[in-house]
Amino acid sequence: MSLKTGKIREKNSHVILSAAEIEFVKHGFKGASMQAIADRAGLPKANVLYYFNTKQALYQQVLSTISARWDSLLDDISDQDEPAQVLTRYICNKVDLAISYPNASKIYAAEIIQGAPNLQDQLRSNVRVWFKEKTKIIESWIEKGKIDPVDPQHLIFMIWSTTQHYADFETQVLIVSNKREYEADDVDVIKQFLCQIILKGIGLDIGSIEPLHMENQFACSL
Amino acid sequence: MSLKTGKIREKNSHVILSAAEIEFVKHGFKGASMQAIADRAGLPKANVLYYFNTKQALYQQVLSTISARWDSLLDDISDQDEPAQVLTRYICNKVDLAISYPNASKIYAAEIIQGAPNLQDQLRSNVRVWFKEKTKIIESWIEKGKIDPVDPQHLIFMIWSTTQHYADFETQVLIVSNKREYEADDVDVIKQFLCQIILKGIGLDIGSIEPLHMENQFACSL
DNA sequence: GTCTATACAAGGATAGAC
DNA sequence: GTCTATCCTTGTATAGAC
């Protein structure tokens, strides 16, 4: 029975976290109510508070789940490979993540917009260190003459903003381009567009990426 | 006395709107409280409700103030001039707006993230029409061979996302780049970076912009 | 482990004195 | 036009039955 109980706990936790994600996206941290989260999860309100003691704790849990996904999938800018290959992979992964988990990106964005009250520490430690590392790699590319002398920091900001835009501003993108939802084709077009403009923009020819490393990540229509 | 009253009304309205902007940024629509807005404005809560009958009305007022600023300053993509010049001007104006009114951009972004419950109509009418017009202009540039054959829609998304990033993600940008606030120099660097990458990315040489049209908009350090 | 009932605070909005 | 006092709803959280 304790095994079964554990399963129930795991399942309920997951249902609650999913419901919470949606409510936090739609109304923000303060605006989301435990009642609405419970309703969406199909559980009594007290049950939600049984699993996560406070609303704050539930929110923190949602945030750290998001951060974990970020960290695990996006840490692949290294100086082992050629710039074109590294940047292509990074951009494509970020686009995939944005399209696959739009709510995660939206909650993260809302947190930053509101001044990152729950993410300050992580930004000041982890993210800042990651950022410094990656700018140094980009600087080394510039020193070796592999890319144009562009500001490494702003290059990273450009990749972050352009990729996450398709998650955070999903509503606007879909409305103005008159679509109901993203399709597989759209994702390929996005990847191809971003890689083309950014690589060319910093002085790399998109043709310099060996097809091997593009894999199925995007259809090269040029 | 009615004149004086009108002045008081105008002044108080303005104070309330400014306070509301800040509270809406920090806590979202639902999360912001009339009490907190009133406190920030230095007025009793009932006073705020006297000027704006409901919280919803106050929020709508904030939103339409923002939209008005958007519309008036950013409608300058025309097919009269050369692409390089038009895009440079558009990018620089958007950066200026993002840096000058970060809260406006943040509230707009939060609205879109939450599914644009109060902006759907405007997006479906005004913004969509604007978007269609501008993509056609870009298409005409492509047909005339003035720029590379890139997707016009995604080019606009790229400009929107990269420029507004500096407002919406201000907190993150400042923390990871270890600054307290944006300085005049930063703004120039941002404009110059974005123009360089995007113009070059779509096959335009940044040198093709006549200095005349760059004015003081950014220092051309190349 | 699960759920009903409830305590207690905060929020939006209004009535009415000044 | 301005502000105090108050109504009523909603929200978080807990107590305690099952």
Query: Between A175 and B79, where is the model more confident?
Result: A175
What does the pLDDT read at residue A208? 57
What does the pLDDT read at residue B79? 79
- In this complex, do B154 and A198 lie within 8 Å of one another by their Cβ atoms? no
- In this complex, do B154 and A190 lie within 8 Å of one another by their Cβ atoms? yes
Is B4 a residue whose pLDDT tops 90? Answer: no
- In this complex, do A28 and B25 lie within 8 Å of one another by their Cβ atoms? no
Predicted confidence band of residue B207 (pLDDT cuts 50, 70, 90)? low
Chain B closest-CA separation from residue A44 CA (Å): 23
Query: Between B76 and A27, where is the model more confident?
Result: A27
Is B158 a residue whose pLDDT tops 90? Answer: yes
Closest chain B residue to the Cα of A104, Cα to Cα: B113
Provide the token pair at A156: 């990273």
Interval A56-78 mean pLDDT: 87
What does the pLDDT read at residue A76? 73
Q: CB of B155 within 8 Å of any CB in chain A?
A: yes
B151 closest CA partner among A194, A101, A81, A102: A194
Interval A59-74 mean pLDDT: 89
Round to a whole number and report the distance in Å from the CA of B23 to the C1' of C2: 39
Interval B142-160 mean pLDDT: 97
What does the pLDDT read at residue A7? 84
Q: Give the one of B31, B32, B123 whose C-beta lies nearest to A176's C-beta.
A: B123
Is A71 a residue whose pLDDT tops 70? Answer: yes
Round to a whole number and report the distance in Å from the CA of B48 to the C1' of C10: 18
Is A215 a residue whose pLDDT tops 80? Answer: no
What does the pLDDT read at residue B221? 31
Cβ(A58)–Cβ(A52) under 8 Å?
yes
How far is A207 from A209, CA to CA, in rounded Å? 5
Which of B37, B157, B186, B187 should one mutate to test binding to chain A, selecting the residue with the greatest count of A CBs within 10 A?
A: B157
Which A residues, 184 through 213, put their C-beta within 8 Å of a C-beta on chain B? Answer: 189-190, 193-194, 196-198, 200-203
Query: Between A3 and A117, where is the model more confident?
Result: A117
B213 closest CA partner among B75, B98, B79, B87: B87
Domain map (residue ranges) of chain B: 1-53, 64-208
Chain A closest-CA separation from residue B10 CA (Å): 28
Predicted confidence band of residue A212 (pLDDT cuts 50, 70, 90)? very low
Amino acid at B51: Y
Chain A closest-CA separation from residue B153 CA (Å): 8
Round to a whole number and report the distance in Å from the CA of B47 to the C1' of C15: 14
- pLDDT tens digits, one per residue of B177-189: 999 999 999 999 9
Q: Alpha helix (H) ranges present in B101-144?
A: 102-113, 120-122, 128-143
Closest chain A residue to the Cα of B105, Cα to Cα: A113
Predicted confidence band of residue B208 (pLDDT cuts 50, 70, 90)? low
Contacts of residue B1, defined as CB under 8 A and 6 or more positions apart, other chains included, come to: none
- In this complex, do A150 and B123 lie within 8 Å of one another by their Cβ atoms? no
Predicted confidence band of residue B70 (pLDDT cuts 50, 70, 90)? confident
- In this complex, do A31 and B29 lie within 8 Å of one another by their Cβ atoms? yes
Provide the token pair at A102: 């739009």
Predicted confidence band of residue A210 (pLDDT cuts 50, 70, 90)? very low
Is B1 a residue whose pLDDT tops 70? Answer: no
What does the pLDDT read at residue B209? 58
Cβ(A173)–Cβ(B153) under 8 Å?
no
Which stretches does DSSP call E strand in B6-157?
Answer: none
- In this complex, do B114 and A28 lie within 8 Å of one another by their Cβ atoms? yes
Pick one of 3.30.360.10, 3.30.70.260, 1.10.357.10, 3.40.50.720 as the CATH number of A64-208: 1.10.357.10
Q: CB of B110 within 8 Å of any CB in chain A?
A: yes
Q: Which of A18-32, A149-163, B20-34, B70-84 has the lowest mean pLDDT?
A: B70-84
- pLDDT tens digits, one per residue of A100-141: 999 999 999 999 999 999 999 999 999 999 999 999 999 999
Task: Please state, in angstroms and as integers, the Cα–Cα distance from residue B72 to each residue in B65, B69, B76, following that order.
Answer: 11, 5, 9
- What rounded mean pLDDT belongs to chain A? 90
Pick one of 1.10.10.60, 2.60.120.10, 3.20.20.140, 3.30.43.10 as the CATH number of A1-53: 1.10.10.60
Q: CB of A131 within 8 Å of any CB in chain B?
A: yes
Q: Give the one of A127, A165, A189 whose C-beta lies nearest to B151's C-beta.
A: A189
Task: Please state, in angstroms and as integers, the Cα–Cα distance from residue A88 to each residue in A15, B84, B176, following that order.
Answer: 35, 26, 23
Round to a whole number and report the distance in Å from the CA of B61 to the C1' of D4: 27
- pLDDT tens digits, one per residue of B114-127: 999 999 999 999 99
Is B167 a residue whose pLDDT tops 70? Answer: yes
- pLDDT tens digits, one per residue of A133-191: 999 999 999 999 999 999 999 999 999 999 999 999 999 999 999 999 999 999 999 99
Round to a whole number and report the distance in Å from the CA of A5 to the C1' of C1: 8
